[in-house]
């Protein structure tokens, strides 16, 4: 099979997107995701350092390491804005490689996304986003998503997603596992197979929670969980992404990330509980 040149990802829902004068991520046919490292931006160097140390840190259990994208170093590539400029890119695992119709949701975790070393301007920028979203009241916010239904794809505009209220988040988490397109009454038909089960989203989040309850190696500011499943049959997966602001834990539990993770777990658990109660009547008879 002929391999094509790296190109902008078709199913990107979060992070920086490519523009006419702005480089963005690229993917190739071999399952690689290339994240541009802008020259003069210390965030890129910080993320490279994190992946380099994390990928070889013996204190991280292998079961937890599987929640992070595999890391392949850096590579010089022409940027996605069609210019001839070559920039270093992080070489990561393309988490949606092999999906035919990916349903994916980017959820930024933590009641605060600003990091201790943030400049005054960065602090104000992050704090504003936190206050204007569900980050503060919920400990997480949805940054972007897409869902493939029988009748097409639903991919809400990011500007609309940023303004989601608590009620919106509750409804969107339900629509994410629904077969119908009804925004008012999502059927949650896929809740048990995507969110539930021994290998579902909830079980994976609970495994992460168990690690975060003890780990004091890192603090993950402004990091996200990427939740995905495939209409074509691939099972649900949870991955952690975006580590430009990951910091040394210095022996302290990352309560900010842990709290947001617990909040997300609560919302998903409620959906599974509601779905089960809707299927089983008061006399344990299935509703038809």
Domain at 219, CATH number? 3.30.470.160
Interval 154-207: pLDDT, tens: 999 999 999 999 999 999 999 999 988 677 889 999 999 999 999 999 999 999
Predicted pLDDT of residue 285: 36
- The predicted structure's pLDDT at residue 287: 29
Q: How far is CA 232 from CA 2, 146, 264, in A?
A: 24, 15, 26
Which one is predicted more confidently, 18 or 247? 247
pTM: predicted TM-score of the whole model, two decimal places: 0.90
Helical H segments across the chain, by residue range: 42-54, 62-65, 120-131, 135-138, 158-162, 166-175, 191-194, 201-212, 255-279
pLDDT of residue 279: 58
> Does pLDDT of 288 surpass 50?
no
Domain limits for position 148: 102-277
Q: Is residue 21 part of a domain?
A: no
In a domain, 73, yes or no: no
Looking at residue 22, what DSSP letter applies? B
Q: Is residue 287 part of a domain?
A: no
Structural domain includes residue 158: yes
Confidence of residue 1 (pLDDT cuts 50, 70, 90): very low
Res 139: pLDDT = 98
Mean pLDDT to the nearest integer, 35-58 = 87
The confidence score (pLDDT) of residue 284 equals: 40
**Does the residue 178 lie in any domain?**
yes
Question: pLDDT higher for 148 or 142?
Answer: 142
> Which of 180, 140, 187 is closest to 161 using CA atoms?
140
Report the share of the chain in percent with pLDDT over 90: 68
Q: What are the tens digits of pLDDT across the range 130-141?
A: 999 999 999 999
* Encoded tokens for 230: 């495939």
Share of the chain above pLDDT 70, in %: 89
β-pairing, 140-149 vs 102-109, is: antiparallel
Would you place residue 286 in the very low, low, confident or very high pLDDT band (cuts 50, 70, 90)? very low
Which burial class, exposed, middle or buried, applies to 266 when counting CB atoms under 10 A from its CB (0-12, 13-18, 19+)? Answer: exposed
In three-state secondary structure terms, 40 is coil
Question: Which is higher by pLDDT, 246 or 150?
Answer: 246
How many domains would you assign to the chain? Answer: 1
Sequence-ordered alpha helix ranges (H) in 55-149: 62-65, 120-131, 135-138
Residue 227 forms part of a structural domain:
yes
């Amino acid at each position: 099979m002929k391999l094509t040149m790296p190109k902008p990802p078709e199913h990107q829902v979060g992070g920086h997107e490519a523009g006419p004068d702005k480089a963005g991520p690229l993917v190739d046919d071999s399952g690689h995701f290339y994240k541009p490292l802008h020259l003069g931006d210390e965030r890129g160097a910080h993320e490279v350092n994190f992946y380099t140390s994390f990928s070889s840190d013996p204190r991280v259990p292998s079961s937890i390491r599987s929640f992070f994208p595999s890391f392949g170093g850096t590579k010089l590539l022409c940027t996605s804005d069609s210019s001839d400029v070559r920039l270093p890119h992080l070489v990561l695992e393309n988490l949606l490689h092999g999906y035919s119709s990916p349903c994916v949701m980017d959820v930024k975790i933590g009641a605060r996304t600003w990091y201790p070393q943030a400049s005054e301007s960065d602090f104000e920028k992050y704090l504003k986003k936190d206050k204007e979203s569900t980050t503060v009241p919920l400990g997480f916010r949805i940054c972007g998503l897409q869902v493939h239904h029988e009748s097409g794809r639903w991919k809400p505009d990011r500007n609309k997603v940023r303004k989601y209220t608590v009620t919106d988040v509750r409804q969107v988490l339900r629509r994410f596992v629904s077969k119908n397109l009804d925004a008012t009454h999502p059927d949650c038909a896929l809740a048990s197979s995507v969110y539930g089960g021994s290998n579902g989203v909830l079980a994976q989040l609970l495994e992460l929670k168990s690690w975060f309850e003890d780990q004091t190696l890192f603090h993950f500011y402004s990091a996200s969980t990427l939740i995905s499943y495939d209409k074509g049959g691939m099972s649900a997966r949870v991955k952690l992404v975006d580590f430009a602001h990951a910091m040394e834990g210095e022996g302290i539990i990352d309560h900010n990330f842990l709290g947001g993770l617990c909040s997300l777990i609560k919302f998903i658990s409620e959906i599974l509980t509601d779905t089960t109660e809707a299927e089983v009547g008061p006399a344990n008879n299935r509703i038809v």
